[in-house]
Amino acid sequence: MTYIKFTSSCSDKTIYINEEVIQSIMPFRQNSILSTEAGGMMFGCVGKSEKFYYIEKCSIPIPEDTRTITGFIRSVFHAKKALNIKIIDNITTYLGEWHTHPCEAFLSSQDKKSHIDLLNSSKIYINGIFALIYGADNIFKLYFIAKDRNIDLFMEEKDV
Residues that bind Zn ion (CB under 5 A): 108, 111
Residue 47 CB, nearest approach to Zn ion (Å): 28
Closer residue to Zn ion (CB): 37 or 56? 37
Taking the C-alpha atoms of residue 3 and residue 54, their distance in angstroms, rounded to an integer, is 9
Residue 100 CB, nearest approach to Zn ion (Å): 8
Residue 140 CB, nearest approach to Zn ion (Å): 13
Q: 123: which residues sit within 8 A by CB, 6+ positions away?
A: 94
Closer residue to Zn ion (CB): 65 or 111? 111
Closer residue to Zn ion (CB): 54 or 72? 72
